[in-house]
Each structure stands twice: as structure tokens, then as C-alpha cells.
Amino acid sequence: MFGFALAGILLGLALNLYHGKKSNLKGIYEIRALWLPIAGLLLESIFTYFPRFALQFAGLIICTSYLCIFVFLFLNRVIKIPVVLIAAGSLSNFIVILCNGFRMPVSPASLAMYPNMTAAAVYAQRGNYFIAQSGANLYFLGDVIPSPLGAMGGFLSIGDLLLGFGILLFIVAILTKWQED
């Protein structure tokens, strides 16, 4: 997601530089309740830093995290297209996690791209993920797309891609007050 956010910042800045004085940009959108997605991300980080605790309360943590994101999106719905993409990606991820006991399935084929990564290592890093060796509910919505980008690599889902492009467009929109007609 960091790559999408960075691309959005760079694209937004480039568009502002390109338009410069030639365009009458109307300022940036007012972002409402920015603390909500930050709180949602902090809640998700509990799985990384306190995995045993997080697994005991996985349902509560995940549902609260996604509630933060959806309330933020509702409050900022004026930025239409990006909000729809972020909502679609978030809903896709939430549904697959919900249907698999509050864990995200990871493709064994994706895991094979990382020779030192085992199912135990995935679980040790993020207890809310599992290798779907014998399948998973809504498997196609899970982390089944390998992303071989070195240290930033990993596994992506369809929801992650929608979310990423939504974040990119959201940032461009707030930096340029992109007008949707």
C-alpha cells in the first residue's frame, strides 16, 4: 500500500506543478476524521506486535478496524471514485477474512516464490494469515497474487489492488481537488 500512496503523492504533486498558474485549482478537499483509518491500521498492527493477544480477540480487532475504515469512507464520500474503490477493496478483504475465521488465506503458489518462507513463518509473522493448502472459503479473494518486490514483496489480493488504486486516486484527489463530473 505504501507504493500506491507514494505514487499518489508524486502524481498529485506532478499534476499541480504541470497545471501551475494555468489552472484554477480550488484547493484541497477537507478530509474528515483522518484519525479513523490511522486507528484502524494501529489495530491491525496488534497482530504483528502482540500476536497471541490479538488472536484471542481477532474478531473484535478486525471488525473494529474495518468499522473505522468504513466510517471514514462514509464521512469522505464526496471524493466519489476513490472512496468506491477503497470501499470495494476493503469489503472484499473483510469478507474473505470473515469467511475464514478472521484469517486471510495465502496462496501456496505465492509462498513458493519465497524459498525461506514457510507456512510456520507466515503464521509467526502474522497470526491472522494462513497458507490455504487445502483450500479456503472465497479463496480467489485471498492473498493469491505474488508481489516479488524484494523487501516490499509479499502477497496481494484483488481487494488489495482495489484498495491500492483507491488510495492512489484519493491522494491525487485531495492534492489536486480533482473534479468528478
Where is pLDDT greater, at 6 or 81? Answer: 81
Helix (H/G/I), strand (E/B), else coil: 154 = strand
Task: Please report which residue ranges of the chain form alpha helices under DSSP H.
Answer: 2-19, 35-49, 51-56, 58-75, 80-98, 108-111, 119-125, 158-176
CA–CA dist 180, 173 (Å, integer): 9
pLDDT in tens, 109-136: 777 676 666 666 666 666 788 888 777 9
Task: Report residue 40's pLDDT band, with 50, 70 and 90 as the boundaries.
Answer: very high
Q: What is the pTM of this model?
A: 0.83
> Quick check: 100 pLDDT over 70?
yes
Q: Which of 56-65, 68-77, 152-161 has the lowest mean pLDDT?
A: 152-161
Average pLDDT over residues 47-65: 92
> Quick check: 21 pLDDT over 70?
no
Asked whether 65 and 40 are in contact (CB, 8 A), the reply is yes
Task: Report residue 60's pLDDT band, with 50, 70 and 90 as the boundaries.
Answer: very high
Average pLDDT over residues 145-156: 68
Quick one: pLDDT at residue 153? 58
In the block, cell 472484499 appears at 92
The C-alpha cell at 159 is 481487494
